[in-house]
Amino acid sequence: YFELCSSKLLFDAWTTFLSKFKSLTKYLYTNINIVKILVIIGLYASILKRMLQRLHITGYYLYKCYSSLYNNPIRENGKATNRTNLNNKGTLSDKENFMKFLVGFVDGDGTFNIYISDKNKFIFTFKITLSKVNSKLLHYIKSRLGVGQVIEVGGKDTNLITFRIRDKENLIKVIFPIFDKYPLLTSKQFNYEKFKKSILVSNDTSLSQAEKADKIREIKSMAIPGDYISPVWGNLSPDKINSGSDVKDIIDVWWLVGFIEAEGSFYYVVKDVKKGRVVHGFAISQKLDPIVLYAIKYTLHIPTSVKYKSAHNYYLLDTTNSRAIEFIIKYFIYNNNSNYFKGFKGFEFTIWRRAYFKHKGDSPRLLKIRDWITGLKNRHKQ
């Protein structure tokens, strides 16, 4: 009986060992693959110029396969905490978030055009024109709106691509409700109001075609006042904005994502020429709307002042401050590794963020990354 019992104990121990060994092997295999993927994504491997789509696929695969690892809490200072960002605002798939994103994007890169022919024919165009590197973003906007068209500007030899809507019914039914609900924060609000008034005049059946043309020409000729500020800002002015709380009901994270997608720059700059020191920087500029830059400055906790560049007549918000860079990184990420940006800016931001944490102080590496990103952005010009 003792021998049988001993044999059973040995057999059970061997089974337990095999089970633990298999679990350990599976765990190591999984984590080794994660490390391999992160090494590739983290730019430790040599970076190929054709990896843009591959990086996107790998990130999606990593999220799907190892989401349980992302969702588990991590420990900071001995306490469990979830890996969340500063703004738990959902995703761009939400209709309201998309509309805010679109308004911010149009504040940066959108236009409202009114054309009147010699024969009093009208063409109204809402459009967004970008570099071809962002063609995917324009197709995404088209698919979400369900109207419009994406076309190349001036043929295949140019570097630009445009999303546009010209059909008046689509402008009235699709575009007007968005910009009426979420007004533009820049002086483009003035242009939108002229655009909308002109379309409504063109649909006025009580007017002759000539009368419509005269009224629309009058609206079109209205010059924007030199001190114009979008009505959204109410009584605020640049000198009255002293903290993020002053603009928290105006600057929404999704508007800011869209605006930075269009106007923001995540860059690398040589800070010390003699030492060749390269640092991370963030910049955004405006020609007519300094109030927007002041609001962004306090929203993103940027310590540097908004500067006016008289030589080229524009306002600039620019920082290389480490604390500001780290706050910006935290502001625009969620689910640990994902970011809010949708177009090529999202790819730039991802590389910029990872390079900050992995290669800060490694100037030769940062210069290589900068040149690589520049090459990707300019590849359609060749």
User: Using one digit for the tens of pLDDT, what is the confidence trace for 94-135?
Assistant: 999 999 999 999 999 999 999 999 999 999 999 999 999 999
**Interior/surface letters 120-135, b for 16+ CB within 10 angstroms, e for the rest:** eebebebbbbbbbbbb
State which residues of the chain have pLDDT below 70.
1-89, 155-157, 335-336, 380-382
Q: Helices 209-220 & 188-202, crossing angle to 10 degrees? A: 170
User: One fold for both 95-232 and 238-381?
Assistant: yes
Separation CA 206–CA 290 (nearest Å): 42
What pLDDT is attached to residue 44? 36
CB 169 within 8 A of CB 148: no
Domain ranges of the chain: 2-81, 95-232, 238-381
Which residues are 333's β-sheet partners?
Answer: 339
Tokens of 247: 């603009």
What pLDDT is attached to residue 90? 75
CB 220 within 8 A of CB 138: no
The CA-atom distances, in angstroms, between 266 and each of 260, 262, 349 are 10, 12, 6
| Range 238-381: architecture per CATH | Roll (3.10)
**β strands within 50-133, DSSP E:** 74-76, 79-81, 110-116, 122-131
pTM: 0.77
Q: 122: closest CA among 200, 33, 235?
A: 200
CATH 3.20.20.70 is right for the domain spanning 95-232? no
What is the residue-averaged pLDDT of the chain? Answer: 82
Encode pLDDT of 5-40 as tens digits.
Answer: 444 444 455 555 556 556 656 555 555 444 434 433
Residue where the block lists tokens 């076309």: 151
